Amino acid sequence: MKHRLTDRFAGAADILAEIDARVPDTRDHLAETRTTVDTYHPKRLRLVVVEIIDETSTTKTFRLEHPEALPLPPFLAGQYLGVFFDGTSRPYAISSSPERLDHYDLTVRRVPGGRISNALIDTVAVGRELTTTGPMGVFHHNPLFHGSDLIFLAGGSGVAPAMSMIREIVERGLDRRFRLIYGSRRCTDVIFRDELDTLAATHPGIDIHHVVTEPAPDWTGTTGLLSADTISALAGPLDGRMVYVCGPQALYHYALDQLTALGHPRKRIRFEANGAPSDPTRAPQWPSDVDPNTEVSVVIGGKSFRTPRNRPLLDALEDNGIRPETACRSGECSLCRIRIVEGEVHTAAEAELRLSDARFGYTHSCVAYPISDVELEL
């Protein structure tokens, strides 16, 4: 006896006949999907420097456009681009507004002795093409969870994502309060000072407070570090407001202590570090009998080389012409993941590893250091 389900539904035979009569679908859905994904989340962008703005004596903004002046992929204020340069890469936050997709601005501060910040500032001229990642990162406003009354503690170049968030509020006319408490060493180090002050004066929802540690004699603003007292005085009661923190690694530990002292819950603090993770050899997990300056050997894909124990594995691989995918270089994005086949590796606390990574021997090479001779797999 036949048990066809379609026999039990009136009109089912007509529908089946109609389906059979349809022109076969020959579209390449996979390729179409790939094109759409690449348009919005490209792995690589070729961008041309169209303008360079001197922000302070140590900071320049590079304005980047598509070589054919096409619109750039959308991004969320707070996200960054990985910039590939001189055989390596560095992440830089987009400081321009997500409302304007004809360009991205990257605001780069010189780090004394730093390889790429100095190379960008000293050698890149208008007309130069740069390869970057598409916009990346999770350090951005989420209207559902973060609310519309926000505090941002910035240190140094950590003001770049805040600038993008502020420009977005202004240009999109968003109903959002934004209070920036921005710490700098000297008054002359304050990036975007004039624009920030003008926006604060003309937009009631935007409050800007500059705080300097080494004030000039004519400085009348707040001085010192971004301490609990300063935060309270400038932001008032935190009342569960979302607090973003962006700046050097040291600011994270300091700001976290200050916010904790104010009773602010950790889940209402979002952080992004604009510098390398703290010295791994000072971490409590670093074995006390291991000299960080001595070398170990690394074997990977049939190649072997020696590298110092205190050099991140990602840098060591790049030194030897091996280029894992990278973006954040701070342990967060997981693109630089490698498997440790053999040997011992110290992974900095900054690495946001999955629970399964430890079980199956994976780590994030940008914040992982070889303690012993190691064999790795990409």
Ligand X SMILES: Cc1cc2nc3c(=O)[nH]c(=O)nc-3n(C[C@H](O)[C@H](O)[C@H](O)COP(=O)(O)OP(=O)(O)OC[C@H]3O[C@@H](n4cnc5c(N)ncnc54)[C@H](O)[C@@H]3O)c2cc1C
- Residues forming contacts to ligand FES in the complex (CB under 6 A) are 326-329, 331-336, 364, 366
196 is a site residue for ligand X (CB under 6 A): no
274 is a site residue for ligand X (CB under 6 A): yes
Between strands 88-93 and 80-85, the pairing is: antiparallel
Helix axes 193-202, 159-172, angle to 10 degrees: 40
Q: Which does 366 bind (CB under 5 to 8 A by kind): ligand FES, ligand X, none?
A: ligand FES
Q: Are the C-beta atoms of 91 and 82 separated by less than 8 Å?
A: yes
Stretch that binds ligand X, among 184-192, 236-244, 323-331, 349-357 (CB under 6 A): 323-331
330 is a site residue for ligand X (CB under 6 A): yes
Query: What is the C-alpha to C-alpha distance for residues 154 and 370, in angstroms, rounded to an integer?
Result: 33
Query: What is the C-alpha to C-alpha distance for residues 351 and 344, in angstroms, rounded to an integer?
Result: 16
Q: Which does 165 bind (CB under 5 to 8 A by kind): ligand X, ligand FES, none?
A: none
Tell me the DSSP string of 101-140: TT-EEEEEEPPTT-HHHHHHHHH--TT-EEEEPPSB-S-S
Please, what is the minimum distance in Å from the beta carbon of residue 364 to ligand FES?
Answer: 4
Among 42, 147, 248, 343, binds ligand X (CB under 6 A): 248
Indicate the residue among 182 and 369 with the shorter CB distance to ligand FES. 369
Stretch that binds ligand X, among 84-92, 164-172, 280-288, 343-351 (CB under 6 A): 84-92
Indicate the residue among 227 and 278 with the shorter CB distance to ligand FES. 278
CA distance to 116, 186, 214, 221, per residue, from 218 (Å): 35, 12, 12, 9
Please, what is the minimum distance in Å from the beta carbon of residue 72 to ligand X?
Answer: 17
Stretch that binds ligand X, among 146-154, 194-202, 254-262, 325-333 (CB under 6 A): 325-333
Region 123-142 residues binding ligand X, contact defined as CB under 6 A: 137
Stretch that binds ligand X, among 70-78, 167-175, 326-334, 350-358 (CB under 6 A): 326-334
Indicate the residue among 38 and 86 with the shorter CB distance to ligand X. 86
Burial classification of residue 320, based on how many CB atoms lie within 10 Å of its CB (0-12 exposed, 13-18 middle, 19 or more buried): middle
Indicate the residue among 327 and 374 with the shorter CB distance to ligand FES. 327
Q: Are the C-beta atoms of 59 and 41 separated by less than 8 Å?
A: no
Query: What is the C-alpha to C-alpha distance for residues 243 and 151, in angstroms, rounded to an integer?
Result: 5
The candidate with the shortest Cα–Cα distance to 368, out of 349, 348, 354, is 348
Q: Which does 326 bind (CB under 5 to 8 A by kind): ligand X, ligand FES, none?
A: ligand FES
Stretch that binds ligand X, among 103-111, 173-181, 208-216, 231-239 (CB under 6 A): 103-111
Indicate the residue among 160 and 242 with the shorter CB distance to ligand X. 160
Q: Are the C-beta atoms of 184 and 159 separated by less than 8 Å?
A: no
Query: What is the C-alpha to C-alpha distance for residues 121 and 52, in angstroms, rounded to an integer?
Result: 9
Indicate the residue among 161 and 205 with the shorter CB distance to ligand X. 161
Q: Residue 122 corresponds to which tokens in the numbers above?
A: 């000293």
Residues forming contacts to ligand X in the complex (CB under 6 A) are 80, 90-93, 107-109, 111, 113-118, 137, 157, 160, 248, 272-276, 328-330
